[in-house]
Amino acid sequence: MSNILIIKHGSLGDIAQASGAIQDISENHKNSQIYLLTTNPYFELFKKNPFINEVILDKRLSRFNLIYLFSLMRKLKKLNFIKVYDLQNSSRTKFYKTILFPNSNLEKWSSSETTLPKGINKDEFDKKSVLDRFDHQLKTSGLNTKNTMKPDFNWSCSKINQIKEKYNLKKYIVLFPFCSPHLTSKKWPYYNELINLIKEKFKDEYKILVAPGPLEIDEAKSINAISILNDENVLGISQLSSLIKDSNFIIANDTGPAHMAAHLGSKGLTLFGSHTTAYKVSIERENFKAIQVEDLSNLSPEKVLEYIIKKI
Protein backbone atom coordinates (compact mmCIF):
# COMPACT_ATOMS: atom_id res chain seq x y z
CA MET A 1 0.00 0.00 0.00
CA SER A 2 1.37 3.42 -0.97
CA ASN A 3 1.47 6.49 1.26
CA ILE A 4 0.04 9.95 0.52
CA LEU A 5 0.87 13.09 2.51
CA ILE A 6 -1.37 16.13 2.96
CA ILE A 7 0.03 19.26 4.60
CA LYS A 8 -2.33 21.63 6.40
CA HIS A 9 -0.90 23.61 9.32
CA GLY A 10 -3.80 25.99 10.06
CA SER A 11 -5.45 28.36 10.85
CA LEU A 12 -8.83 27.28 12.25
CA GLY A 13 -10.85 28.78 9.42
CA ASP A 14 -8.45 27.29 6.88
CA ILE A 15 -8.90 23.85 8.45
CA ALA A 16 -12.65 24.05 7.95
CA GLN A 17 -12.21 25.24 4.35
CA ALA A 18 -9.82 22.42 3.51
CA SER A 19 -12.23 19.67 4.64
CA GLY A 20 -13.63 19.10 1.15
CA ALA A 21 -10.20 19.03 -0.47
CA ILE A 22 -8.98 16.49 2.10
CA GLN A 23 -12.02 14.32 1.43
CA ASP A 24 -11.40 14.46 -2.33
CA ILE A 25 -7.74 13.54 -1.94
CA SER A 26 -8.68 10.57 0.21
CA GLU A 27 -11.44 9.37 -2.12
CA ASN A 28 -9.12 9.62 -5.13
CA HIS A 29 -6.52 7.47 -3.32
CA LYS A 30 -8.72 4.74 -1.84
CA ASN A 31 -5.93 2.16 -1.85
CA SER A 32 -3.41 4.41 -0.10
CA GLN A 33 -2.66 5.37 3.48
CA ILE A 34 -3.47 9.07 3.99
CA TYR A 35 -1.15 10.96 6.33
CA LEU A 36 -1.64 14.57 7.37
CA LEU A 37 1.06 16.90 8.66
CA THR A 38 -0.27 19.63 10.96
CA THR A 39 0.55 21.76 13.97
CA ASN A 40 -0.21 21.22 17.64
CA PRO A 41 -3.55 23.14 17.85
CA TYR A 42 -5.09 20.82 15.25
CA PHE A 43 -3.27 17.55 15.95
CA GLU A 44 -6.01 15.96 18.07
CA LEU A 45 -8.78 17.46 15.94
CA PHE A 46 -7.53 15.85 12.74
CA LYS A 47 -7.51 12.44 14.44
CA LYS A 48 -11.32 12.67 14.21
CA ASN A 49 -11.27 13.15 10.45
CA PRO A 50 -12.55 9.93 8.79
CA PHE A 51 -10.53 10.58 5.63
CA ILE A 52 -7.14 10.56 7.38
CA ASN A 53 -5.34 7.43 8.55
CA GLU A 54 -2.58 9.02 10.59
CA VAL A 55 -1.68 12.52 11.79
CA ILE A 56 1.93 13.72 12.03
CA LEU A 57 2.86 16.62 14.31
CA ASP A 58 4.95 19.47 12.96
CA LYS A 59 6.16 21.63 15.85
CA ARG A 60 7.16 24.29 13.33
CA LEU A 61 10.35 25.10 15.16
CA SER A 62 12.84 27.48 13.60
CA ARG A 63 14.33 26.38 10.29
CA PHE A 64 17.69 26.93 11.97
CA ASN A 65 16.86 24.23 14.53
CA LEU A 66 18.72 21.66 12.51
CA ILE A 67 18.20 18.82 14.98
CA TYR A 68 14.42 19.18 14.81
CA LEU A 69 14.39 19.73 11.06
CA PHE A 70 16.55 16.66 10.46
CA SER A 71 14.30 14.55 12.69
CA LEU A 72 11.10 15.64 10.95
CA MET A 73 12.51 15.23 7.44
CA ARG A 74 13.89 11.79 8.29
CA LYS A 75 10.48 10.71 9.58
CA LEU A 76 8.76 11.92 6.42
CA LYS A 77 11.34 10.35 4.11
CA LYS A 78 10.95 6.97 5.82
CA LEU A 79 7.30 6.89 4.83
CA ASN A 80 8.21 7.00 1.12
CA PHE A 81 5.32 9.19 0.07
CA ILE A 82 4.41 8.75 -3.57
CA LYS A 83 2.61 12.11 -3.59
CA VAL A 84 2.38 15.21 -1.41
CA TYR A 85 -0.60 17.57 -1.48
CA ASP A 86 0.48 20.89 -0.01
CA LEU A 87 -2.75 22.61 1.04
CA GLN A 88 -0.87 25.14 3.15
CA ASN A 89 1.06 26.65 0.24
CA SER A 90 3.34 28.67 2.49
CA SER A 91 7.00 29.61 2.36
CA ARG A 92 7.63 26.97 5.02
CA THR A 93 6.05 24.13 3.04
CA LYS A 94 7.90 25.31 -0.06
CA PHE A 95 11.09 24.97 2.03
CA TYR A 96 10.08 21.41 2.96
CA LYS A 97 9.69 20.62 -0.73
CA THR A 98 13.26 21.70 -1.47
CA ILE A 99 14.47 19.26 1.18
CA LEU A 100 12.21 16.29 0.48
CA PHE A 101 11.77 16.46 -3.29
CA PRO A 102 14.07 19.06 -4.86
CA ASN A 103 13.20 19.97 -8.45
CA SER A 104 10.06 17.81 -8.36
CA ASN A 105 6.98 18.76 -10.38
CA LEU A 106 3.27 18.27 -9.75
CA GLU A 107 3.59 14.52 -10.31
CA LYS A 108 5.26 14.34 -6.91
CA TRP A 109 4.35 17.59 -5.14
CA SER A 110 0.98 19.26 -5.67
CA SER A 111 0.89 22.91 -4.60
CA SER A 112 -0.48 26.17 -5.91
CA GLU A 113 2.97 26.84 -7.36
CA THR A 114 3.46 23.50 -9.15
CA THR A 115 -0.09 23.70 -10.57
CA LEU A 116 -0.04 27.40 -11.43
CA PRO A 117 -2.05 28.12 -14.61
CA LYS A 118 0.06 29.04 -17.62
CA GLY A 119 0.42 32.76 -18.17
CA ILE A 120 -0.66 33.68 -14.62
CA ASN A 121 1.74 34.58 -11.82
CA LYS A 122 1.10 33.50 -8.24
CA ASP A 123 0.05 36.98 -7.08
CA GLU A 124 -2.64 37.03 -9.76
CA PHE A 125 -3.70 33.45 -9.01
CA ASP A 126 -4.03 34.26 -5.30
CA LYS A 127 -6.77 36.78 -6.12
CA LYS A 128 -9.09 33.84 -6.77
CA SER A 129 -11.20 32.49 -3.93
CA VAL A 130 -9.69 29.96 -1.53
CA LEU A 131 -11.90 27.12 -2.71
CA ASP A 132 -11.35 27.94 -6.39
CA ARG A 133 -7.61 27.71 -5.79
CA PHE A 134 -7.95 24.34 -4.03
CA ASP A 135 -10.18 23.09 -6.83
CA HIS A 136 -7.74 24.14 -9.53
CA GLN A 137 -4.81 22.62 -7.64
CA LEU A 138 -6.47 19.22 -7.24
CA LYS A 139 -7.98 19.07 -10.72
CA THR A 140 -4.62 19.96 -12.26
CA SER A 141 -3.16 17.14 -10.16
CA GLY A 142 -5.56 14.72 -11.86
CA LEU A 143 -8.20 14.38 -9.15
CA ASN A 144 -11.98 14.36 -9.38
CA THR A 145 -13.21 17.10 -7.06
CA LYS A 146 -16.73 16.41 -5.81
CA ASN A 147 -16.32 17.96 -2.38
CA THR A 148 -13.64 20.65 -2.59
CA MET A 149 -16.08 23.45 -3.40
CA LYS A 150 -18.51 22.38 -0.66
CA PRO A 151 -16.49 21.59 2.49
CA ASP A 152 -18.26 19.68 5.24
CA PHE A 153 -16.82 20.34 8.69
CA ASN A 154 -19.34 18.19 10.57
CA TRP A 155 -16.67 15.55 11.20
CA SER A 156 -15.21 17.93 13.80
CA CYS A 157 -18.20 17.82 16.17
CA SER A 158 -18.37 16.05 19.53
CA LYS A 159 -21.17 15.62 22.05
CA ILE A 160 -21.73 18.56 24.41
CA ASN A 161 -24.76 17.30 26.36
CA GLN A 162 -23.26 18.27 29.73
CA ILE A 163 -22.51 21.82 28.57
CA LYS A 164 -26.03 22.20 27.17
CA GLU A 165 -27.54 20.95 30.41
CA LYS A 166 -25.36 23.22 32.54
CA TYR A 167 -26.42 26.35 30.62
CA ASN A 168 -29.92 25.06 29.78
CA LEU A 169 -29.34 25.58 26.07
CA LYS A 170 -32.31 24.98 23.79
CA LYS A 171 -32.76 27.90 21.42
CA TYR A 172 -29.76 30.18 21.23
CA ILE A 173 -27.79 32.70 19.16
CA VAL A 174 -23.99 32.71 19.33
CA LEU A 175 -21.95 35.87 18.83
CA PHE A 176 -18.24 35.96 17.98
CA PRO A 177 -17.31 39.60 18.66
CA PHE A 178 -13.60 38.92 19.01
CA CYS A 179 -10.61 39.20 16.67
CA SER A 180 -6.84 39.05 16.83
CA PRO A 181 -5.32 42.13 18.52
CA HIS A 182 -3.41 43.02 15.33
CA LEU A 183 -6.52 42.74 13.12
CA THR A 184 -8.84 45.27 14.73
CA SER A 185 -10.14 46.34 11.30
CA LYS A 186 -12.15 43.08 11.36
CA LYS A 187 -13.95 44.02 14.56
CA TRP A 188 -17.54 45.29 14.44
CA PRO A 189 -18.07 47.63 17.46
CA TYR A 190 -21.82 47.30 18.12
CA TYR A 191 -22.42 43.83 19.56
CA ASN A 192 -23.91 45.05 22.85
CA GLU A 193 -26.27 47.35 20.97
CA LEU A 194 -27.29 44.43 18.77
CA ILE A 195 -27.91 42.24 21.82
CA ASN A 196 -30.30 44.86 23.23
CA LEU A 197 -32.19 44.97 19.93
CA ILE A 198 -32.41 41.15 19.74
CA LYS A 199 -33.79 41.01 23.28
CA GLU A 200 -36.34 43.72 22.49
CA LYS A 201 -37.49 41.87 19.38
CA PHE A 202 -37.46 38.26 20.56
CA LYS A 203 -37.82 38.71 24.35
CA ASP A 204 -36.65 35.47 26.01
CA GLU A 205 -37.05 33.23 22.95
CA TYR A 206 -33.30 32.91 22.43
CA LYS A 207 -30.38 32.90 24.81
CA ILE A 208 -27.49 35.07 23.62
CA LEU A 209 -24.09 33.41 23.97
CA VAL A 210 -20.42 34.06 23.41
CA ALA A 211 -17.75 31.36 23.33
CA PRO A 212 -14.41 33.02 24.06
CA GLY A 213 -11.01 31.67 23.20
CA PRO A 214 -8.13 31.51 25.71
CA LEU A 215 -7.20 35.19 25.29
CA GLU A 216 -10.79 36.41 25.10
CA ILE A 217 -12.25 35.42 28.49
CA ASP A 218 -11.75 38.86 30.05
CA GLU A 219 -13.04 40.65 26.95
CA ALA A 220 -16.14 38.42 26.99
CA LYS A 221 -17.11 39.97 30.32
CA SER A 222 -17.75 43.26 28.52
CA ILE A 223 -20.34 41.60 26.25
CA ASN A 224 -23.89 41.37 27.63
CA ALA A 225 -24.20 37.66 26.84
CA ILE A 226 -23.70 34.29 28.53
CA SER A 227 -20.08 33.22 28.30
CA ILE A 228 -19.89 29.49 27.55
CA LEU A 229 -17.03 27.61 29.17
CA ASN A 230 -16.23 23.98 29.88
CA ASP A 231 -15.86 24.24 33.66
CA GLU A 232 -13.27 27.03 33.87
CA ASN A 233 -11.72 26.27 30.50
CA VAL A 234 -12.58 27.45 27.01
CA LEU A 235 -14.33 25.02 24.69
CA GLY A 236 -12.20 22.71 22.59
CA ILE A 237 -12.58 22.95 18.82
CA SER A 238 -14.86 19.91 18.65
CA GLN A 239 -17.08 21.27 21.42
CA LEU A 240 -17.19 24.65 19.72
CA SER A 241 -18.19 22.97 16.45
CA SER A 242 -21.17 21.33 18.15
CA LEU A 243 -22.21 24.54 19.87
CA ILE A 244 -22.18 26.32 16.50
CA LYS A 245 -23.91 23.50 14.61
CA ASP A 246 -26.81 23.31 17.08
CA SER A 247 -27.33 27.08 17.26
CA ASN A 248 -30.27 28.94 15.77
CA PHE A 249 -28.07 31.72 14.38
CA ILE A 250 -24.46 32.93 14.35
CA ILE A 251 -23.21 36.53 14.10
CA ALA A 252 -19.46 36.88 13.78
CA ASN A 253 -16.54 38.96 12.68
CA ASP A 254 -14.38 37.43 9.94
CA THR A 255 -12.68 34.89 12.20
CA GLY A 256 -12.16 31.13 12.48
CA PRO A 257 -15.55 30.41 14.12
CA ALA A 258 -17.30 32.20 11.23
CA HIS A 259 -15.67 29.83 8.75
CA MET A 260 -16.56 26.89 10.97
CA ALA A 261 -20.20 28.00 10.97
CA ALA A 262 -20.21 28.37 7.19
CA HIS A 263 -18.96 24.82 6.63
CA LEU A 264 -21.09 23.28 9.38
CA GLY A 265 -24.19 24.38 7.47
CA SER A 266 -25.23 26.79 10.22
CA LYS A 267 -27.49 29.78 9.69
CA GLY A 268 -25.62 32.97 10.24
CA LEU A 269 -23.99 36.17 9.18
CA THR A 270 -20.44 37.44 9.10
CA LEU A 271 -19.53 41.12 9.01
CA PHE A 272 -16.80 42.28 6.64
CA GLY A 273 -14.96 45.57 6.45
CA SER A 274 -12.44 46.46 3.75
CA HIS A 275 -9.71 44.04 4.92
CA THR A 276 -10.74 41.42 2.34
CA THR A 277 -13.87 40.16 0.59
CA ALA A 278 -16.30 37.39 1.40
CA TYR A 279 -15.69 36.01 -2.10
CA LYS A 280 -11.94 35.69 -1.66
CA VAL A 281 -12.21 33.74 1.61
CA SER A 282 -15.06 31.53 0.30
CA ILE A 283 -17.24 32.08 3.35
CA GLU A 284 -20.71 32.46 1.86
CA ARG A 285 -22.75 29.26 1.76
CA GLU A 286 -26.44 28.42 1.41
CA ASN A 287 -27.27 29.31 5.03
CA PHE A 288 -24.34 31.55 5.90
CA LYS A 289 -23.99 35.00 4.34
CA ALA A 290 -21.91 38.14 4.64
CA ILE A 291 -22.55 41.86 4.89
CA GLN A 292 -19.65 43.77 3.30
CA VAL A 293 -19.07 47.46 4.04
CA GLU A 294 -16.12 49.79 3.59
CA ASP A 295 -16.02 50.74 7.28
CA LEU A 296 -17.51 48.45 9.94
CA SER A 297 -18.14 51.41 12.25
CA ASN A 298 -20.73 52.60 9.71
CA LEU A 299 -22.70 49.31 9.82
CA SER A 300 -25.60 49.91 12.22
CA PRO A 301 -26.94 47.26 14.62
CA GLU A 302 -30.42 47.96 13.19
CA LYS A 303 -29.21 46.86 9.75
CA VAL A 304 -27.79 43.63 11.17
CA LEU A 305 -31.01 42.97 13.10
CA GLU A 306 -33.04 43.35 9.88
CA TYR A 307 -31.04 40.52 8.34
CA ILE A 308 -31.39 38.30 11.40
CA ILE A 309 -35.18 38.73 11.45
CA LYS A 310 -35.39 37.67 7.79
CA LYS A 311 -33.18 34.58 8.16
CA ILE A 312 -33.53 33.13 11.66
Q: Are residues 214 and 238 in the same domain?
A: yes
Instruction: Based on the fold, state whether residues 196 and 69 are members of the same structural domain.
Output: no
For 196-231, the pLDDT digits (tens) are 999 999 999 999 999 999 999 999 999 999 999 999
Pair (139, 237) in one structural domain: no
Residue 157, in any domain of the structure: no
Tell me the backbone φ, ψ of residue 190, rounded to 5 degrees. -120, 30
The reply to whether omega before 19 is within 30° of 0 (cis) is no
Residues 143 and 166 both lie in one domain? no
Residues 307 and 167 reside in one and the same domain: yes
* CA distance linking residue 248 with residue 255, whole number of Å: 19
Structural domain for 115, as ranges: 2-152
Task: Give the total number of structural domains in the chain.
Answer: 2
The answer, yes or no, to whether residue 117 has pLDDT greater than 80, is yes
Do residue 144 and residue 166 come from a single domain? no
| Residues 218, 214: Cα–Cα separation, whole Å | 9
Q: Are residues 73 and 168 in the same domain?
A: no
One domain, residues 22 and 135? yes
- Inform me whether the pLDDT recorded for 127 exceeds 90: no
Q: Residue 290 is part of a domain; what is its CATH number?
A: 3.40.50.2000
Q: Using 50, 70 and 90 to split pLDDT, how confident is the model at 121?
A: confident
Q: Is the pTM of this model over 0.85?
A: yes
145 and 25 within one domain: yes
The kind and range of the H/E element at 176 are strand 172-176
